[in-house]
Amino acid sequence: MIGLIVLALLGAAAAAPTDDRIVGGYECTHNSQPWQVSINIGYHYCGGSLINDQWIVSAAHCWQNPYSLMVILGDHHIWMHENTEQYMSVDAIYWHELYDYQTLDYDIMLMKMAHPATVNDWVRPVKLPTQCPTPGEMCMVSGWGNIYSDSVFNPFELRCVEVPIVSFEDCDRSYPGLITDRMVCAGYKEGGKDACQGDSGGPLVCSGTLQGIVSWGYGCAQPDQPGVYTKVCALMPWIEDILARYS
């Protein structure tokens, strides 16, 4: 998630996803999140989620020239080869035509890999939603981002943290006037657990279904400042349209 400090920095922060990490979590069980993707530009840059054997969904603010990217599937220790990884080049990227880099509304993009992935125990698509999440529902966020809220340490192993969905009303109270129908909040009122630097674009998975994409927030794991995620259920018509037109 982008760690937005003040509203005036919203646009600049959106252009540089450097404040997104898993805070207050733990090392994921190996390959327990088989849809997790690392978007790599010579180093891990953003997360993503495999949604079928050739398509990945991520945050639009993670966009880079597709020919400069490699996506890594089936990874756990980001600097160690574990014989489970699949390395893929990217053929095309489609971001939402209404994406606003200042407000991060419609913060979603689809990446088409040059070749289909091999689906196995370590690489498997996540389910897409048929309904929206409910407040209080527990969800899993994962990523290789920073693990501290007040300093920087990026772990080598994939990290996980569980956070509850926050109601629209409570989310709007935390970020007055900034939350749209394409956003959903998740986190604890007291803070302490959140996504942060390097987790941008990664999955928020509830009961095995992708309900959010790590997008933004004020800092990381702060009290009364839940993480803000792109609300996947609200953007399913766009996802289905892109897949139908370009698959």
- List of residues 6+ apart from 159 with CB closer than 8 A: 21, 22, 25, 26, 27, 28, 142, 143, 144, 145, 147
Q: Is residue 18 part of a domain?
A: no
User: Has residue 7 been placed in a domain?
Assistant: no
Q: What is the mean pLDDT of residues 103-131?
A: 98
pLDDT tens profile 72-110: 999 999 888 999 999 999 999 999 999 999 999 999 999
Buried b (16+ CB within 10 A) or exposed e, 2-13: bbbeeeeebeeb
Q: In this structure, are 80 and 168 located in the same domain?
A: no
The answer to whether the CB of 215 falls within 8 A of the CB of 108 is no
Cβ atoms 227, 217 nearer than 8 A: yes
Arithmetic mean of pLDDT over the chain: 87
Residue 216 is predicted with a pLDDT of 94
Same domain, 229 and 140: yes
Contact (CB, 8 A) for 22 and 29: no
Is 231 a residue whose pLDDT tops 50? yes
Assess whether 149 carries a catalytic annotation. Answer: no
Contacts 24+ apart (CB under 8 A), 185-190: 185/226, 185/227, 185/228, 185/229, 186/139, 186/141, 186/212, 186/226, 186/227, 186/229, 187/163, 187/221, 187/225, 187/226, 187/227, 188/163, 188/164, 188/226, 189/223, 189/224, 190/223
Are 230 and 242 within one domain? no
What is the CATH classification number for the domain harbouring 208? 2.40.10.10
Name the domain count of the chain.
Answer: 2
The pLDDT score that the predictor gives to residue 146 is 59
Catalytic residue among 38, 142, 200, 215: 200
Residues 161 and 211 in one domain: yes
* 9-30 confidence digits (pLDDT tens): 222 233 333 333 466 788 999 9
Confidence of residue 191 (pLDDT cuts 50, 70, 90): low
The string of pLDDT tens digits covering residues 57-73 is 999 999 999 999 999 99
One domain, residues 143 and 101: no
Residue 27 lies in a domain: no
**Greater confidence, 203 or 4?**
203
| pLDDT score for 4 | 34
Task: Give yes or no: residues 141 and 65 share one domain.
Answer: no
**Which segment of 63-72, 116-125, 158-167, 221-230 scores lowest on mean pLDDT?**
221-230
For 35-44, 53-62, 127-136, 195-204, which range has the lowest pLDDT when averaged over its residues? 195-204
Residue 157 in domain: yes
- Does a structural domain hold residue 64? yes
Say whether both 225 and 192 belong to one domain.
yes
Cβ neighbours, 10 Å, residue 62: 26
Is there a domain that residue 21 lies in? no
**Is 107 considered catalytic here?**
yes
Q: Which of 107, 149, 199, 215 is catalytic?
A: 107
Which residues have C-beta within 8 Å of that of residue 233, sequence separation ≥ 6? 129, 131, 132, 133, 211
- Confidence at residue 14, expressed as pLDDT on a 0 to 100 scale: 34
Confidence class of residue 194 from pLDDT cuts 50, 70 and 90?
A: low
* Claim to verify: residue 135 and residue 150 sit in the same structural domain: yes
Model confidence at 151, pLDDT cuts 50, 70, 90, reads very low
Q: Which two tokens stand for residue 6?
A: 């003040």
- Strand 209-217 to strand 2-3: parallel, antiparallel, or no bridges (unpaired)? parallel
pLDDT-derived band at 206, boundaries 50, 70, 90: very high
Which pLDDT does position 22 carry in this prediction?
66
Residues in Cβ contact with 176 at an 8 Å cutoff, skipping those fewer than 6 apart = none
On whether both 114 and 131 belong to a single domain, the answer is: no
**Same domain (yes/no): 159, 144:** yes
Count CA atoms closer than 13 A to 36's CA, side-chain side. 32
Residues 204 and 165 in one domain: yes
Domain assignment of residue 46, given as a range = 36-125+235-246
Strand partners for 27: 159
pLDDT for 149 equals 45
Whether 78 and 110 share a structural domain: yes
d(CA 26, CA 140): 11
Contact 180, 96 (CB under 8 A): no
Residue 30 placed within a domain: no
Residue 161 lies in a domain: yes
